[in-house]
Structure 1
Amino acid sequence: MAGRINDEDIALVRERARIDNIVGAYVTLRNAGGGSLKGLCPFHDEKTPSFQVTPARGLFYCFGCGVGGDVITFMQKIDNLTFTEAVQTLADKVGVQLRIVDDGKPSLPAGLRVRIMEANKLAAEFYSKALAAPEALEARRMLDGRGFDRPAAEHFGVGYAPRDGRALHRHLNHAGFRDDELVSAGLIREHGGWDYFQGRVMWPIKDSGASVLGFGARHLYDDDRLPAKYINTPETPVYKKSHVLYGLDLARQNIGKKLQAVVMEGYTDVMSAHLAGVDTAVAVCGTAFGPDHARLLQRLMGNNDSTQGEIVFTFDGDKAGQAAALKVYKLDRSFTTQTYVAVEPNGLDPCDLRMAKGDAAVRELVGRREPLYRYVMAHTVAGYDLDRADGRVAAVRAAAGMLASIRDANLVGEYVRDLSRLVGMDVDEVRRILKQARNQGAGGRREPPVPVVSEDADPVEPGDSPGWPDRNDRNLDVERGTLKLMLQHPTLFDTAWNGVSTSDFTHPAFRALFGAILSTPYVPTGWTDSLQQATGDELVRQLEIALLVEPILRSPDEGYASAYTSRLKLLTTARAIDDLKSRLQRTNPLQDKDAYDAMFMKLLDLETSRKKLSQASLGLTE
């Protein structure tokens, strides 16, 4: 509602909204004498009543916690509403049409909002009663199959929309509602006057004060003309899907007391959670969780200016659930509370989980929550080949922006340690890469995942140019020097090229060049010409020529060639050791003992090979 509410209307709301009636809906009040009423304070725990209401003055006060005010103040505090929202809520209850000071005109036709709320209330009662009718057998079976008996359905107000198509329309017309009012409420369709919901299970969607704003509906029959499994009330003057949460009326007080909200994906999930004891559960209604939902929950927790409290999101374990988690993560800056995610390992939603494993399993699901940052970071890292050094470095760089966005600086160090465990790297090395990424302004941009390269596979796809290797890259010196020796002095090597393989070369151009050498048997005359013909890539042919003419700084012999190839294989072995250590760090020795032991034995063999190759490479000096 834009503008400022007319002062006369606010005064009229205070006059009509009797404080004893409003407070009495939340607190059991008893006569305390002298025109006062007493009850247990709803704002703090107490055993002896110290909460007092004086209807004649329209005031309340708690002598225990010192909270007091008028009927509007009470609504603000009990439902964590803004002043405007509290006035609007009370106005709806007592039938006052509010005017805006800007132009003095109602924002809606006079009384329409009140009429919509009244129609919704009667519709909810109609649907609830219809659930007991013979026609609703399929609806009752569906609910029973999801673990909900009749008392549960009544507690959540679940109902049934008859297949008649006009049953609700007739019922509300008989109650005195005009068609234009019912169209505005989203209860009937504008053309034809058909009921908006037909042959479906119905859930009333209420605000924090338990007023019905709209409905959610699930299909039952194969011949349903609407293909969507779930449909919701269309946007109305009182129902805005980005501003409502199913179950809020039941969870409101517990969210404020526990400073926790558990956001689920469906109506039956919320029902299962509440029945299992997770009484802070709510769900979005026909839309994704957005900034308005976040602000609503934070207001209920009363912590708009602090980082206390938590919002826990439950997602399915499938790809859709992971995508939903990533969308919520993008909204994380909208929260002042800490955000968590709870995912059932077997992919069960809370309703299925309760049916399969009972109430305790639902409580444990929420209890095992993990920070949303950690969950998203794990899935980001999983997109990289962590068995390769460049893949691990790329994964750390991808997470850099995520870590930089963490609001609580005290958590950054812990998440950096988490990242080091996820990628299997030393935490100091992870910090160094993160610092480098920040200095370069990388911002944690996601790099393309590093593909797995097989030793036996052709390292370069036909027609793909591998790119020219940088002569100033010191990490490529040994690869470059080995190929120069092979091209210029092939007779210094044995027929197997001293056991060198394509996997010993990290640059694709060098791998392609060595592949050509392997496929071209050495002959004393015309070998380099044959090599040029066997090379399909023009860039690699030019690289052959460049290495053939580059000078070698000493007169080589077989010992020098052997030392070069030993150094080349030493670097390969060192990379293999780093990769294996990374896998060991990412493997739980208790949960996967056989794999861990096998990798450990392989690591010992690689360390032995490294010592031998290191010794053999000592003859390499240049």
Structure 2
Amino acid sequence: MAGRIKAEDVEAVKDRASLEAVVREHVTLTRAGAGRLKGLCPFHDERTPSFTIRPAVGRWHCFGCGEGGDVISFVQQVDHLTFTEAVERLAASAGVELHYEEGGGPREAGMGRRGRLVEAHRVAEEFYHEALLRSRDARVGRDFLRERGFDSAAATRFGVGYAPRGGEDLVRHLREKGFSEEEMTLGGLAGRGSRGLYDRFRGRLVWPIRDITGDTVGFGARRLHDDDRIAAKYLNTAETPIYKKTHLLYGLDLAKKAIAIGRRAVVVEGYTDVMACHLAGVESAVATCGTAFGSDHVSTLRRILRDDAAGGARTIFTFDGDAAGQKAAMRAFELDQRWASQSYVAVAADGMDPCELRQQQGDDAVRRLVDEAVPMFEFAVRTTLAGFDLDTAEGRVAGMKSVARIIAEIRDPALRPEYTRTVAGWIGVDVEQMRDVVAHAPKGMPTIGGPGASRRTGASGGDGPAPGETRGGDEGSTLLPRPDLRDPTVLLGHLFLQVLVQFPRLIAPEDLYRVEEESFVAPAHRAVFLGTLTALVGGAADRPHDWVEAIVEASPAPVDTLVGALAMEQIQARVDPETGEPDARYVGDLLTRLWEAPLQARIADAASALRRVEHDDPARAHEIAVELQGLQLELAELRRRRE
């Protein structure tokens, strides 16, 4: 079976395949400015054309749905092909001979009946649980539970089990029960290797993951042994016909009654946290299954909570006190507007999770943690402000703008004035100033990297992670605020990045390196700028077809769509009718304005410092005045250059 396509052959296909010719097979294109063609998007319904291609650089992007990429990704999406299949189809038409690395081929797939797959999981759950209670090999699993305050009764209540280390124990057991190899692999209980089937979970503590009806449809497995060949602490069932992780919540089958009666759901981060909460009396606790809490989970809980505009329902999220926990909390906040009722956050003062809290302080501490949860928007404001230096004017203004959107989104208008006053005190600004910023805050919480974001495609010919699995790390899922182009400072950065992404050779390296990272106010713009610097070091600017992809690879995943848009947007300046390049004066003006921005910020800080000390410390005031004069002279010189 053929393996991975060699990287050099993939690049040859990109160079030889005509994006325009391929797209014209599906889309009627018309000219849309220098070097651009436009048509109706094949991936979503629209009346006004927003699908744009730049044949010279081999890129396409839809400004309507946000999809974009190169010729390979277009064929993948329009014809529903894998990466390998798309490359092979393009290679055949372009006359490129492909060569393959050894090993690995397409993933096998099949269909299975739900009843048989569910029954196989029921048998597997019984097998694993019996192994935990009886097997000598499972002592390490029993010790793990005991150390966290869980006895055999708790293990039985939650169906916890142990997967023997042998590697084929479950496969043999399922064969004896009459299950086929196809059913075992399709359900994610076994994998297929060179020697035949093997148990997917080996030497791990396993939790049965059940759907809302109580049927076991998958497992979550915790690493116990140091020599486990899979380094990941947790290994979950991959996507199967019966297991969809974005729709499942661990413990929901046990918690649904308490959630419905009390109209309160508690969302925790791990399987042991669910166990700890239930045993402590918080029986409405659930957890996601190896994925971030998402909109499908919101929909599931809302139906059980009876979350409506009349109020009364409450959802509480508990997170660890570390940086990862804070990121998870902010992701949950991005979904806050999907709830009709109020959502809350509970974080233990010393950062312990519910399981640790129960171990060290008892059941009462877990109940207090949940009962003392703070409103989600209060937590979001404090977490957001923690990222700004409130000792500087720039930090205070940026902090105000960031949290103003949060305050403006509070559903209860009666709470907004009070929170405006409170937040003004946290930042150290006048209440009227804070109120004005809130009043003019843009509505909604737009983000980059959502459902319409383009996906990265491996240059070596891989098809990306298998369903149900993720690439190393989960940073790509973190969302960044969409740049607000109504802010002139943000717009300046955007216009400059248009030029840098589309025509990198128009900006001399020595000029580019004078641009400071802080000149880009929007975090997403800053991420793209840093990505371009990394791509420049690699020499990608000399290869037009690789330049945009190099920026994407060097930037965090949430800005993929932004990079694609910047590469396709029409530059609003006088341009060469053939190449689309803007004139040198336009580029020079953008550069000098970016150089000015950090200077102006330093001047403002120095002026503020001078006002604070001019009456109390004349010597220090003189030092600051000299510094201020030097900064003003430097700014004047830059402005003369612009003229």
Q: Please confirm whether the aligned pair reaches a TM-score higher than 0.5, indicating the same fold.
A: yes
For residues 186-225 of structure 1, the C-alpha deviation after alignment (integer angstroms, 9 at most, x for no partner) is 1111332101111110101112221111111001111112
Distance 1:500 1:478, change over 3 A: closer
On the 8 A contact 1:512/1:540 being kept in 2, the answer is no
The yes-or-no answer on 1:429 pairing with 2:426 is no
The yes-or-no answer on 1:501 pairing with 2:503 is no
What's 1:140 paired with? 142
Q: Which amino acid aligns with 2:117?
A: I
What's 1:269 paired with? 273
What's 2:167 paired with? 165
Q: Which amino acid aligns with 1:271?
A: M
Deviates more, 1:366-375 or 1:302-311: 302-311
Give the CA deviation at 1:302.
2.2
| Structure 2: distance between partners of 1:466 and 1:540 | 14
On the 8 A contact 2:607/2:628 being kept in 1, the answer is no
Distance 1:243 1:306, change over 3 A: farther
| Structure 2: distance between partners of 1:467 and 1:205 | 53
The yes-or-no answer on 1:368 pairing with 2:372 is yes
| Structure 1: distance between partners of 2:411 and 2:138 | 50
Give the CA deviation at 1:114.
0.4
What's 2:329 paired with? 325
Distance 1:238 1:503, change over 3 A: same
TM-score, length-scaled by structure 2: 0.54
Q: Which amino acid aligns with 1:162?
A: P
What's 1:125 paired with? 126
Give the CA deviation at 1:267.
0.3
Deviates more, 1:496-505 or 1:402-411: 496-505
Give the CA deviation at 1:170.
1.0
On the 8 A contact 1:139/1:200 being kept in 2, the answer is yes
For residues 86-141 of structure 1, the C-alpha deviation after alignment (integer angstroms, 9 at most, x for no partner) is xxxxxxxxxxxxxxxxxxxxxx96x7110011111111111110002111111101
Distance 1:419 1:123, change over 3 A: same
For residues 292-346 of structure 1, the C-alpha deviation after alignment (integer angstroms, 9 at most, x for no partner) is 0110011111235654311111111111111111111122222223211111121
Give the CA deviation at 1:500.
3.1
- Map 1:21-420 onto structure 2 (within 5 A): 112-132=113-133, 133-191=135-193, 192-304=196-308, 306-420=310-424
| Structure 2: distance between partners of 1:251 and 1:467 | 54
- Map 1:594-613 onto structure 2 (within 5 A): none
| Structure 1: distance between partners of 2:608 and 2:171 | 83
Distance 1:236 1:426, change over 3 A: same
For residues 381-400 of structure 1, the C-alpha deviation after alignment (integer angstroms, 9 at most, x for no partner) is 12223234453333212212
For residues 495-543 of structure 1, the C-alpha deviation after alignment (integer angstroms, 9 at most, x for no partner) is x9877334468xx753646xxxxxxxxxxxxxxxxxxxxx8x5846999
What's 2:629 paired with? 510
What's 2:26 paired with? none
Q: Which amino acid aligns with 2:113?
A: L
Distance 1:286 1:466, change over 3 A: closer
Q: Which amino acid aligns with 1:126?
A: F
Q: Which amino acid aligns with 2:122?
A: K
Distance 1:167 1:415, change over 3 A: same
| Structure 1: distance between partners of 2:270 and 2:231 | 18
Give the CA deviation at 1:432.
2.7
What's 1:557 paired with? none
On the 8 A contact 2:420/2:434 being kept in 1, the answer is yes
Q: Which amino acid aligns with 2:205?
A: V
Secondary structure of the equivalent of 1:190? strand
Give the CA deviation at 1:477.
13
For residues 362-419 of structure 1, the C-alpha deviation after alignment (integer angstroms, 9 at most, x for no partner) is 1111111111111111121122232344533332122122222233333322322331
On the 8 A contact 1:267/1:283 being kept in 2, the answer is yes
Distance 1:478 1:226, change over 3 A: closer
By relative contact order (CA 8 Å, sep 6+), the higher-ranking structure is: 2
| Structure 1: distance between partners of 2:608 and 2:362 | 63
Give the CA deviation at 1:437.
5.0
Q: How much identity, in percent, do the aligned residues show?
A: 43
On the 8 A contact 2:609/2:624 being kept in 1, the answer is no
Could you tell me which runs of 5 or more consecutive residues in structure 1 were left unpaired when the two chains were aligned: 1-107, 450-463, 484-495, 514-534, 544-622
Distance 1:432 1:154, change over 3 A: same
On the 8 A contact 1:503/1:511 being kept in 2, the answer is no
Could you tell me which runs of 5 or more consecutive residues in structure 2 were left unpaired when the two chains were aligned: 1-109, 444-483, 491-519, 524-594
Distance 1:497 1:186, change over 3 A: closer
Distance 1:477 1:354, change over 3 A: closer
Secondary structure of the equivalent of 1:238? coil
Based on CA coordinates, which of the two structures has the bigger radius of gyration? 1
For residues 560-580 of structure 1, the C-alpha deviation after alignment (integer angstroms, 9 at most, x for no partner) is xxxxxxxxxxxxxxxxxxxxx
| Structure 2: distance between partners of 1:189 and 1:499 | 72
Q: Which amino acid aligns with 1:259?
A: R
On the 8 A contact 1:248/1:282 being kept in 2, the answer is yes
Give the CA deviation at 1:233.
1.1
Distance 1:403 1:477, change over 3 A: closer
On the 8 A contact 2:249/2:297 being kept in 1, the answer is yes
| Structure 1: distance between partners of 2:385 and 2:208 | 41
Secondary structure of the equivalent of 1:215? strand
| Structure 1: distance between partners of 2:639 and 2:225 | 70
| Structure 2: distance between partners of 1:189 and 1:228 | 17
| Structure 2: distance between partners of 1:214 and 1:169 | 16
What's 1:596 paired with? none
Give the CA deviation at 1:148.
0.6
| Structure 2: distance between partners of 1:124 and 1:306 | 41
| Structure 1: distance between partners of 2:599 and 2:251 | 62
Q: Which amino acid aligns with 1:113?
A: R
Distance 1:184 1:448, change over 3 A: closer
Give the CA deviation at 1:275.
0.7
| Structure 1: distance between partners of 2:428 and 2:264 | 34
Distance 1:254 1:436, change over 3 A: closer
Distance 1:143 1:478, change over 3 A: closer
Distance 1:476 1:175, change over 3 A: closer
Give the CA deviation at 1:426.
4.0
Q: C-alpha root-mean-square deviation of aligned residues, in Å?
A: 3.6
